[in-house]
Chains A and B, each alone.
Chain A
């Protein structure tokens, strides 16, 4: 391939990935945090515990900042789809306009009720009225993740369309939403977003405890978030397993590439780690017999398609093996932290909130979770190359031919750096200048049982 100095396809890919990389951080928070706020407010009302109500309030306050950045970067990616991938959107507009459209409705719904929720804390005598206002926010944020992931699922495994000579001819709008990739993708995205947010909020509480701020408020926050995280981890494990089975059936090239499985065979082993030589030999890898067959089909004897049975120009890049192993490593780390905390909570309760290593591990788990989300997306997106619409359109055919994509890449990169730095500064200043203890004092909330 002749690569000229200015290659709009390459620049479009880089710009899109930058925007998504940045947006996903805030989008993930946008999906999971409302659920945690709702949990805290619900417990606060049910137990008549002002600490949980304050928790909901403080989380909501920080949440607005992340929502703002999420909204603007979401608008950016929405428009960039048409600006950078006009030929793709011409096809996508025909086939997946429906979920895109529904995503906007969900977003609309969420936006309206978030505005109402934030400004009506003390407006209703019945506190449950205010709680119910949050329900549309939780539903709306999860629904927009749901619909937008449907779009992505379609790109991975187009369904509900008839393809003739690479052109889509016949479309069933609802059939296109129910692509085989949809159930696993959607549930994986939702549950990992909840998990990440629980861990992020847990890290904040752990941070305060580690700094020696011993108020029971932080202990309640840590317990609520870590128990939630543990539940979500179990959920993600189950869904992760289903995702492997989906890949084996519908995108075997991705599974084969990520496991370096070249020859189609039964009783396929799973390779952990290792490096690949020039002539596709695996060195230093740890082989687990039968594991790939179990992962793919749930049976140790099942046959797993190998890469050699797939046309070479449709192979995903083989580096996704490293990406997948790293991802699983990060997941193992999070699981360990959550399980350790649960063990302490169950057996040595006082240590759960005071053991410095436990608290430090929880603080580390939050960025690890966010990293895993990013990592998972990179893995998933690189893994479906060279396709933008698997089996229908290659990425190089979907990009713009416009000039100036390089300049736009520069401008947007600057924007994301500035937005990222400012939002972190604003958030830290917001909570540092108004710590929970002071807010409790000024609101006349009791010091708690063991303050």
Chain B
């Protein structure tokens, strides 16, 4: 495997990690808000809080890791995406800032306040929408580079394109679906029947739209970037497997059986689709201006980054395992029987 492919694979794995943990987090924020306005907050809020409190900070790091890493491995991405993303990127940062801090204000401050819950819940859906513009831009067609190398971002085109809206839709519904699937598992572990029934309904309700919007994106790519679509069809088996995993996950939840396994299938479902999409995207990072081979970082830097990455993993994996042992797989904690 060349350094370039290794680099992009590492980053893609981190982005996938972010996709899963952030979806759980964003969706949970929204459900927390939604349950507050429908008067069910007291029923599901406990499990949401018990899961989120120890991990909310970690979620953010996956994202930081991705964008620091991509600039390290592929310095030109900073130039292209940095210039193009000024507005959507800044909006995403502002939303992330509001969300993260108001979560803390609400959870650790003295009493919870409805405006805080609203800011926290609403931003949870807007962030995936604004972050997903990165995916859209990477397909090309929204950037113009003139002869002198000056780059212009075509906002008008982005806002009127079917493809970009399909991606936004997919981002939002999959956040709700992934989150509800996870919360079902967590509520079930907590033996909280009432909460479980509520989040189970959410999960089932969002499963249909998730698969429909995935199909929509699939076809929208065909219209937008035929070359990418062709490569995706040559990897069609990955998307078929992804669909199979979706069916298994929904079946397990439907029959209320083996919910841990159900969530693993949710991860596999998104994993296959995400890596299938990513593999088909190669070698382009930004179609057609930037491939993974353009201005790849120097060999000593690549080597240093990869070595540090491996050392870092040796530190992170056991720590993450400890975090999960203590808060995810510790039945007593999950059921709220441990003091803080």
Contacts and interface: CB of A to CB of B under 8 A. Distances in A.
Nearest to A100: B68
Contact of B319 (A74, A89, A112, A120): A112
Interface residues of B, number: 74
A102 interface: yes
Nearest to A98: B304
B101 A404 contact: no
B201 to A, nearest CB: 29
A372 B240 CA distance: 60
Interface in A68-127: 68-69, 71-76, 78-80, 82-87, 89-95, 97-98, 100-105, 107-109, 111-116, 118-123
A105 to B, nearest CB: 4
Nearest to B303: A173
Contacts of B304: 98, 173-174
Contact of A93 (B78, B104, B316): B78
A119 B303 CA distance: 38
Nearest to A177: B304
B153 interface: yes
Contact of A79 (B74, B75, B89, B312): B89
B297 A412 contact: no
A105 B305 CA distance: 12
Taking chain A's interface residues, is the majority helix, strand, or loop, or is none over half, making it mixed? helix
A405 interface: yes
A426 B315 contact: no
A89 to B, nearest CB: 4
Contact of A115 (B54, B83, B339): B54
B81 to A, nearest CB: 7
A426 B101 CA distance: 11
A80 B87 CA distance: 11
Given A86-B82, A174-B304, A411-B90, A69 B101 contact: yes
Nearest to B296: A94
Interface in B149-196: 150-151, 153
Interface string B257-295: 000000000000000000000000000000000000001
Given A108-B65, A429-B110, A90 B79 contact: yes
Given A79-B67, A83-B89, A93-B72, A116 B322 contact: yes
Contacts of A65: 104-105, 108-109
Contacts of A429: 109-110
A426 B179 CA distance: 29
Contact of B57 (A61, A84, A115, A170): A115
Contact of A94 (B57, B63, B69, B75): B75
Contact of A119 (B79, B308, B322, B327): B327
A108 B66 CA distance: 12
B293 to A, nearest CB: 15
A402 B83 contact: yes
Contact of B104 (A68, A73, A107, A412): A68
Interface stretch (A189-197, A305-313, A415-423): A415-423
B102 to A, nearest CB: 8
Given A72-B101, A118-B54, A87 B79 contact: yes
Contact of A401 (B150, B315, B338): B150
Contacts of B90: 79-80, 83, 408, 411-412
A184 B339 CA distance: 44
A20 B200 CA distance: 44
- Which residue, of A111, A114, A408, A422, has the highest number of chain B Cβ atoms within 10 A? A111
B101 A101 contact: no
A438 to B, nearest CB: 13
- Which residue, of A74, A415, A426, has the highest number of chain B Cβ atoms within 10 A? A426
Contacts of A93: 71-72, 74-75, 77-78, 297
Given A82-B81, A415-B94, A68 B315 contact: no
B68 A78 contact: yes
B73 interface: yes
A171 B301 contact: yes
A113 B58 CA distance: 10
Interface residues of A, number: 75
B82 A89 contact: yes
A288 interface: no
Interface string A426-438: 1001100110000
A64 to B, nearest CB: 5
B305 A111 contact: no
Contacts of A172: 300
A72 B102 CA distance: 11
Contacts of B71: 82, 89, 92-93, 97, 100
B78 A98 contact: no
A258 interface: no
A64 B340 CA distance: 14
B97 A75 contact: yes
B79 A107 contact: no
Interface in B301-319: 301, 303-305, 308-309, 312, 315-316, 319
A149 to B, nearest CB: 16
Contacts of A95: 301
A64 B83 CA distance: 34
A443 to B, nearest CB: 12
Nearest to A122: B339
A79 B305 contact: no
B78 A109 contact: no
Contact of B300 (A61, A171, A405): A171
A73 B75 CA distance: 23
A67 interface: yes
B316 A116 contact: no
A236 interface: no
Given A71-B100, A93-B74, A400 B82 contact: yes
B85 interface: yes
A75 B96 contact: yes
Contact of B309 (A94, A101, A170): A101
A109 B320 CA distance: 9
Nearest to B104: A68
Interface in A384-432: 400-402, 404-405, 407-408, 411-412, 415, 419, 422-423, 426, 429-430
Nearest to A113: B319
B323 to A, nearest CB: 5
16 contacts: A64-B108, A68-B104, A86-B79, A102-B312, A104-B69, A108-B58, A111-B58, A112-B323, A115-B57, A119-B326, A136-B319, A400-B83, A412-B90, A426-B110, A429-B109, A430-B109
Interface of A: 61, 64-65, 67-69, 71-76, 78-80, 82-87, 89-95, 97-98, 100-105, 107-109, 111-116, 118-123, 136, 170-174, 400-402, 404-405, 407-408, 411-412, 415, 419, 422-423, 426, 429-430, 433-434
Given A82-B81, A93-B71, 13 more contacts: A68-B57, A68-B100, A72-B96, A75-B96, A82-B71, A82-B85, A86-B83, A91-B75, A171-B298, A408-B87, A411-B90, A412-B94, A415-B94
